[in-house]
Amino acid sequence: MPRGRRPLQRVPAPARSVTPRKPGPPDCANPRLCRTVTVTMPELPEVETLRRMLESQLRSRTIVAARRSRSRLHVSSRGGGLGALAGRRIERVERRGKYLIFRLDEGRALLSHLGMSGRWLFFEREPARRLPHVHARLDFADGARLWFQDPRRFGQLRVLPGTALARDASLARLGRDPLDPPLASAELAALAHGVRASVKAMLLDQRRIAGIGNIYASEILHRARIDPRRRAGALKPAEWAAVAAEIPAVLTEAIDRMGTTFSMYRTPAGEPGGYGERLRVYDRAGEPCRVCGTAIRRILQGQRSTFYCPYCQGRRSPRA
């Protein structure tokens, strides 16, 4: 094994389902919603955790074989087949929003999106037992393996020339990364100018800000003490300053703890994320706010669950 690489532990069987919600508490904003199951997908902290771990293990490894299952992923994956990766050396792993980009020698790139249940699994050698729902297998010259597992098949995999990444339709529509460099309050206010949608919807709009999803949007707005239902265009400069401060604070803390454990998410070593114990509002409907003790509420916004504290995030301007 090359120097400086820490061997990864064997990956356990994936979680079979998310934890069901408890029956709706009396102070839930809508008891019917509180009986549903929370479904989510990896966001920027989870993808950045994967990127760091994969790059530490894969840099300078040479692919000798690349195979794909007969099952098609739900999202169209245009571009060259995985066979084009044979003989290529991985130079680095990058991230754009929620996308992973494996940069290879001779100007090739493998673009990957995890979808709702995708996982990259790394093994120093062939695993002893068979794993289901593996849709891509990369074999390296030193005997290591990298597999892409995706039970729901909403992920994306496609091989492209590196020069074509700038023109890729999926990447071209992405807004700017919230951490590279961190968003300034004036930049956020400019993005929200004239926007009548809610501030929560704006944070989720990947065309404006790439990488923030449902979990971290709820956490950012709670820490900034902003009602998620307010119109984005109605926030004051001081409020955008609070949001701008909390975006890197929340995302960086989540990255440091390897993301939030939910549904299928695990690191390439099979380890769960540790940020779940730090969540203040997400998936805590009916539980006391960690700041003021008020019961957390759950509502639907754009067919997605939003969690907030009605006291800490009291309304101060018209809703969206």
- What CA–CA distances, in Å, run from 133 to 62, 136, 234? 24, 9, 46
Per the document, the length of the chain is: 320
Choosing from 92, 145, 152, 304, the catalytic residue is 304
In the β-sheet with 119-123, what is the strand arrangement from edge to edge? 63-68, 134-140, 145-149, 119-123
- Nearest alpha-carbon partner for 142 in 86, 53, 82, 62: 62
167 is catalytic: no
> How far is Cα 61 from Cα 81, in angstroms, rounded to an integer?
20
Tell me the DSSP string of 199-267: HHHHHH-TTTBSS--HHHHHHHHHHHT--TTBBGGG--HHHHHHHHHHHHHHHHHHHHTT----TT---
Q: Is 10 a catalytic residue?
A: no
Q: Which of 51, 88, 95, 98 is catalytic?
A: 98
Name the 3-class secondary structure at 106.
helix
Whether 98 is a known active-site residue: answer yes
88 carries an active-site annotation? no
Terminal Cα distance for the chain, rounded:
55
Q: Which of 14, 21, 42, 200 is catalytic?
A: 42
Active-site residue, from 43, 46, 91, 246: 43
Residues classed as catalytic: 42-43, 98, 304
